Structure 1
């Protein structure tokens, strides 16, 4: 990446890689950094460690934007979420879910769910009033991974990527923001259908539906993100003003996200052994080679 330098960081990071471009005030976060895969049990999902490191990235990005704003005024900044793995993100930590549900640890599951919606809400509100968020989806985004992309102002996806909500396979629904975020892009009826049918949609389909903003061929995602940032910088004041307009017209409050995820916790705590075993099969699939894991998810969805 041209003119991009590694951010100095006070904490050792194991699940994300952070880069910044001072010339354009762009802050990049690559989930599932390559060093994470030294652990053969690593799965590219929202582990508690990844959630903690995403919050650290958010703090660093906010500090960086504040420092630049103090020096150069209120030009637009960009926050980009991407992935070093073959997938964008596979969603919630199913291994953690099964353990907490079996142990009847409702408080632990609630804490995890609230941490997830804290991150979703922070991203949806752009972290900073001068920022614009972009999801770069070069690999599959499932469940919470899809919700994370939906929380961004712009979704750039490469052709052929799969996105969807497999939660219904084990008796759950996507409860970390899917309904609130999808209904800003499609009708409530279609949002509910997408949340409950278990279908994996291609990025090409989602682009036609208006959910993916920018669709590019494989390998062109990074270039497309840079082009989107250049366009935004040319209309910086108008883009930031429109953010304020949309914030007032279609707000998604933290209270709304928390209320929904508490319903998700209620539902999760009622799951039986059959649903928990399905979760465990999906966990094993996530540990396989990339093409095997993707096929396992699609086969499960086709069985609905």
Structure 2
């Protein structure tokens, strides 16, 4: 290029300049401009810290879709405390719509007797204990009336609709009829310390945890109707967890005949929830910072010009 052509190129470049410069002599600092500048710096600092905090946080996004999985097992984790029924009469029973029915489940189920003072005592029970029909055995159970029982563990069931319930099937009807001649004395008051259907993940809520039901007089059966929602939680770096969430309603039914019980009646939702941990990309973070700086500068300039007029 000759010098003439070079100067011509520079001339055209100047015509494309969208950032025209003002000579220093034409600039006039002002008190209002200084005040606006301080506000701008403060706003930029706050927005920068906020945007950076969001960039560093792990966000969880949820999606809904039809559950196409088949079969599988349902792990039911429970920890329930009965305030007025001894462990010697309590049992865990389970059944489902496929016809499976099991009475007095003891595998991975543990009981701990609770004294009248509310303090656990004795050994942990993890096996069936049937009382003999002799009066000594029946009398020992009678002496425990008024004490409580903490029953906890894990129940494995088919992934179909069904129920599990806590009843008095740990003893034969002959024994129960002598221990509880008046069935109105069977008090099903209870505290649900924990109930879940599968493994935990961050943010998972268990609606029945801490639920307290107390009967002052009379007796009856408590029923919890549970809708289980299959869930897959994808960690950012640690793989995925297949578990379940649930929603629940409850109902109390006064006992007319037979012995009362505590029922958990569940059904499986056809909709699955997929939760996925995600982190904002750096390109999105950089774009947001540029937008914050540019937007704040433009708005501040507009406010400053309006304040001067």
User: TM-score, structure 2 length as denominator?
Assistant: 0.23
Higher relative contact order (CA 8 A, sep 6+): 2
Bigger proportion of residues as strand: 2
Question: TM-score when scaled to structure 1?
Answer: 0.23
